[in-house]
Amino acid sequence: MAEKRIGELDRNLASEASEVSGGIRFCDVEKPPFRLYGLAAEKEDGRFCRMPGKRAAAVSEGVASLAFHTSGGRVRFSTDAVRIAIRAKLKDSCIFPHMPLTGTCGFSLYRQTGAGQRFVHTFVPPADIKDGYEAWTQFAGSGMRDYTLYFPLYSGVEKLEIGVEERAAIGPGRAYSHGKPAVFYGSSITQGGCASVPGNSYPAFLSRRYDLDFLNLGFSGNAKGELAMAEYIAGLEMSVFICDYDHNAPTAEHLERTLRPFLSVVRKAQPDLPIILVSRPVFDPASPECVRRRNAVFDAYRQAVEAGDERIRFVDGAGLFAVQDGDACTVDGTHPNDLGMYRMANGIGAAIEEFLC
């Protein structure tokens, strides 16, 4: 007897990606009434991006490439549809051994409720994904509801369409409560590695918790505190800046040399901007390198405070996972899983609350 695949044995583990049947009309998310967030105003080379191509290239080749990964990209809309579908065209679909496809290539959907945004569905890509997929879900109930759809954390998106029944209405959805977005700059952890779905990156957790728009400038392996990046960030409108590139600094000495000049550029441009510095969440007190890195971030904070900066905070990464079952917070000793992302959101959120709540 031929061995059956797990999807045949348990339909809940089968890929849901499939062509959407008739009766659905697809609408381009780049056109009204949809509202896009977390992405550059203009596409580059036919793809959505997180920062303008020339500015990204001025930082490094790695940032120029990773800017096309859509981490933090979202579309907001409202609809009374009972069926919602997506049709996505992807480029450079990322497949990692230690991160689910639902995080690297999936789209996760949230609905506004009286208790805030709540997860309702992940559009799951096929295991053999190449250049895109279609998927759909169905809901009970009726009436207009507000949704937020999160883009993939580690893949490029060329085109995204949202489908609803022919008779369904579509509106622009809710605007965020805070007029200016939070800006996150950092490593693969900031980009979202290795959350199981796009809505479980720590910036996404914080966005829902505080109804706060955000821009994710996490660049996997390529956030090294370059002055060109500082200059770009300094020119952005934002409500709070979270700086978290400890893990990508090649050495502790590099972190010591770059962090204060980086902050100086941002602070000079925006004297009243709330700034939150975060040291790496995986911390080994027996490692001189880890201790030196943490001290580099804390010293940058301390010196800013001593110079009279009252709008800066330090989040000690050593305490983010150091609670019950802290060893269960990563997939590989570095990259947070969903539990780790949630705990990072809790620690960093406490600092955000000081400024925004």
- 132: three-class secondary structure by DSSP: strand
Q: Taking each helix axis from N to C terminus, what angle separates 202-210 and 338-356, rounded to the nearest 10 degrees?
A: 40
Instruction: Identify the structural domains of the chain with CATH numbers, from first to last.
Output: 23-171 (2.60.120.260), 182-356 (3.40.50.1110)
Q: How many degrees, rounded to 5, is the angle at CA 341 between CA 335 and CA 344?
A: 105
Handedness of CA 314, 317, 318, 323 (dihedral sign): positive
Pairing of strands 74-79, 214-218: unpaired
Cis peptide before 27 (omega within 30 of 0): no
- Reading the chain (357 residues) residue by residue, the pLDDT tens digits are 455 555 654 565 555 555 566 789 999 999 999 999 999 999 999 999 999 999 999 999 999 999 999 999 999 999 999 999 999 999 988 999 999 999 999 999 999 999 999 999 999 999 999 899 999 999 988 899 999 999 999 999 999 999 999 999 999 999 999 989 999 999 999 999 999 999 999 999 999 999 999 999 999 999 999 999 999 999 999 999 999 999 999 999 999 999 999 999 999 999 999 999 999 999 999 999 999 999 999 999 999 999 999 999 999 999 999 888 999 999 999 999 999 999 999 999 999 999 987
Point out which residues pair with 146 in neighbouring strands.
Answer: 78
The position carrying tokens 């883009």 is 151
